[in-house]
Amino acid sequence: MNPSGQDTALLRCRTVGKFYGEARILREISLDLYPGEIVALLGPNGAGKSTLLTCLIGLILANTGDIELFGQDIQQLDTQNRIQTGFVPQEFSGFSWMRVKQLLELIAGFYPASGRHWKKLEDWADLDSSKKVQELSGGQRQRLAIVLAMRHRPRLLILDEPVSQLDPQARQDFLSLLQEHALEHEAAVLLSSHIVSDLERICSRFLVLHHGRIIAEWPRETLQPGEAESRFLAMTRDSN
């Protein structure tokens, strides 16, 4: 399925599986992400969402199947393509002793000079650059993780519960920035969230992951307002 009208997927995933011993976390996952689209990944706790997202970005390796980013195998991704990716983890950790300004400058050094600042995003985050990371609240850490992942304007973004600790206005403002980025830079975005109502405004497709499998895919144009959430709740309840 290619809802964006683009010919080439920025991310292509085929029959991916992940297991730890006898525990099968992901089973036969296949999906494509195309330029300019934002795709929602829905699933109850324990469905395998975080495992899938970290496999897709290459932080952990799948046991079976194939993943390509920008046409290259995930395990052989060159630097030029690697810097076109961005990832927001469910929980930001590490670098606790560093000040926000120091961390931002450190990470910026890995990217071309033209991609080291996005004023509108940094204004949204509204972080005190003199504070140490360990002094930030949960919501502020989440904002910092978003800035680190997006400031260089990546063409592929993987976001794991990026708005869970943000207040409603901050969530709406961020989602507007995310949509602006996807459209202006033809970026592909895959994000998970339990706040389905937030996603209905910006997502072109909804994928439902349950017990390690994608059990449904809904294009936004086939849904009435609020229907994605009601379908998701009904489907996951019935398939338990």
Query: Dihedral of CA 237/238/239/240: which sign?
Result: positive
For 55-68, what is the mean pLDDT? 95
Is residue 34 a contact partner of residue 190, using CB atoms and an 8 Å limit?
A: no
Give the pLDDT band of residue 197 (cuts 50, 70, 90): confident
On average, the pLDDT of the chain sits at: 91
What is the reported pTM?
0.92
Q: Which of 164, 31, 35, 157 is nearest to 91 (CA)?
A: 164
Domain regions of the chain by residue span: 11-238
- DSSP 8-state secondary structure symbol assigned to residue 74: G
- Tell me the β-bridge partners of 38: 189
CATH topology assigned to domain 11-238:
Rossmann fold (3.40.50)
Please give the helix or strand (H or E) that residue 157 lies within, else none: strand 156-160
As a whole number of angstroms, the distance between CA 121 and CA 27 comes to 36
Q: What angle do CA 175, 59, 39 make, to 5 degrees?
A: 30
156: phi then psi, degrees, rounded to nearest 5: -135, 120
pLDDT tens-place string over residues 144-186? 999 999 999 999 999 999 988 899 999 999 999 999 999 999 9
What type of residue sits at position 133? V
Question: Per residue in 198-231, pLDDT tens?
Answer: 888 899 999 999 999 999 999 989 888 888 888 8
How many whole angstroms separate alpha carbon 62 and alpha carbon 52?
9
Model pLDDT for residues 91-144, shown as the tens digit of each residue: 888 888 999 999 999 999 888 877 778 999 999 999 999 999 999 999 999 999
Whole-angstrom distance, CA of residue 163 vs CA of residue 126: 15
Helix (H, G, I), strand (E, B) or coil at 55: helix
Q: Which residues pair with 42 in a beta bridge?
A: 208
Residue in the structure block whose two tokens are 């800035």: 147
Cβ atoms within 10 Å, residue 240? 7
